[in-house]
Amino acid sequence: MRVMAGLDRPAEGKIIVDGADVTGVPVRERNLAMVYQQFINYPSLSVFENIASPLRIAGKLSDDQIKKKVSEMAERLHISAYLDRSPSALSGGQQQRTALARALIKQASLLLLDEPLVNLDYKLREELRRELTELFSSGETTVVYATTEPLEALQLGGQTLLMHEGRVLQHGSTLSVFHKPMSVQAARTFSDPPINLFEAEVSSGVAHLSDGIAVPLTSEQQSTLTGLSRVTLGLRAHCLHATPQAEDFALQGTIDLAEISGSETFVHMKRGSLALVAQLTGVHELALGSAATMHFQPGELFIFNTDGTLIYAPGAAGV
């Protein structure tokens, strides 16, 4: 299936599915389903009837067939025990499962999901994300999943279309977009925590940052910089670590902030006008204002031209 949206002219925008414009098609005739951020269910219907509603509207199955399909879908989404209840009697997670079940049971050729997990607690989001990945991989439906979380996109995989302020920055397989962002803006958008960016002057194979910091570049990086003297370097937070390794570059500074998030610590460090964030595995107690040293491999640096386009991505000699 091919889905296209008219993004350049919103007033005349169209959604083309398999060559046909579906924007003017009546709701009952559209072969698509959608799940919103909010828990949208029919309040006057039971959970069973909420899930069954697309099948009843289609009018192609007997009551016994509908009951069987609803039971199977409820089992897959772990809400079998709540089929006789009203949506208002359910928790937020159970209500969203009901909305998902109603969308999935339609077996539409196109399923639109607008941040369907954003209002759920962390544990439930992780659980449902795993379940959705399994559900999507087992069906023939084209799924368009909108999210503002890079980690969620990486966990879901598939194809990613990266957007910023209504315009497409890049598209391709999720891993290729993440590992090879084609611009500074794409790298910013698809990095959480934000990617560290440094302006640098290059000479004799060395990138000179502010405050006298000189980072030696690898031979592969140098081969992409012919004729260039000014660039922007990018370093993702997870590439920084506190324990030195062979051929590491050591960057010294002071702790500006340390945030513990689950089993990770986000360390904000400053050195003069230079600021960066490191994503460290484990829980670390770091005093504000204390001295710290972070290490990274120069080969893990992205290099962007002064116009923001990608010159070098780690793991490749160029693009």
Residues 202 and 148 placed together within one structural domain of the fold: no
The CATH number linked to 47 is: 3.40.50.300
Do 23 and 160 belong to one domain? yes
**pLDDT-derived band at 142, boundaries 50, 70, 90:** confident
List the domain range (segments joined by +) for residue 40. Answer: 3-179
More confident residue, 262 or 69: 69
| Residue 156 counted as domain residue | yes
Judge if 227 and 97 occupy the same domain.
no
Q: Is pLDDT of 316 > 70?
A: no
pLDDT tens for 16-35 read: 777 778 788 887 777 888 89
Per the domain annotation, does 208 fall within a domain?
A: yes
Quick check: is 317 in a domain?
no
Q: How many structural domains compose the chain? A: 2
In this structure, is residue 318 part of a structural domain? Answer: no
Distances (CA, A) of 125 to 92, 97, 169: 11, 11, 27
- Burial class of residue 217, CB neighbours in 10 A (0-12, 13-18, 19+): buried
How far is CA 72 from each of CA 64, 113, 186, rounded to the nearest angstrom? 12, 21, 41
Residue 8 pLDDT exceeds 60: no
Report which of 232, 175, 172 is spatially closest to residue 202, judged by C-alpha positions. 232
Asked whether residue 319 is assigned to any structural domain, the reply reads no
